[in-house]
Amino acid sequence: MAGKKLECPNCGSTVETFRNPFPTVDIIIRQEDSIVLIERRNEPVGWALPGGFVDYGESLETAAAREAREETGLDLRDLRQFAAYSDPARDPRQHNLSIVFTAEGAGILQGGDDAARAALFLLNALPSPLCFDHGQILADYREWLQGSGCSPNIFSRTEARRDCD
């Protein structure tokens, strides 16, 4: 998508800028029969999966491990890509893409960084409100756990899961 046009201060020529979505990661962290959610310290406030922005030069997997450690104090084991979510309206702040991972959490759970706190929840007893599209992500995860037959690595919410039918 084209952005606005800028004028070069040196030569006066027009330069077009482009706006691109920002890459993020979210992690469904399992501990025993529960999943980890964080209560966000910043807007939008509410409960969310641990995650955040991918830094320049950082792999998705490294970003997931870093965000999990910063927000929950946990190290990740058996990190696997689950799905991609790209609806431009999924985050009220701007257009963010999210690659969602699943993992086992190891260590002592404690909120940190921009998480006011971290807690364990059963999938059938989630808190409210859930931020962003995390309710949909967890519904997809629950469906996958119940044996939908769909490989979690091949579907994207914007493709209406055609590959899974």
Domain at 21-147: CATH code: 3.90.79.10
Q: Is 142 within 8 Å of 148 (Cβ atoms)?
A: no
> Whole-angstrom Cα distance, residue 87 to residue 151?
20
pTM over 0.95: no
Q: What is the pLDDT of residues 58-95, one digit of tens each?
A: 999 999 999 999 999 999 999 999 999 999 988 888 89
Q: Is 37 within 8 Å of 118 (Cβ atoms)?
A: yes
3-state SS assignment for residue 87? coil
Q: What was the pLDDT predicted at 150?
A: 57
Could you tell me which of 158, 92, 14, 89 has the C-alpha nearest to residue 3?
Answer: 14
Radius of gyration of the chain (CA): 18
Count of beta carbons in the 10 Å neighbourhood of residue 53: 13
Find residue 120's DSSP bridge partners: 36
Q: Answer whether residue 161 shows pLDDT above 60.
A: no
Q: Across residues 132-158, what is the average pLDDT?
A: 75
3-state SS assignment for residue 50? coil
**Domain residue spans of the chain:** 21-147
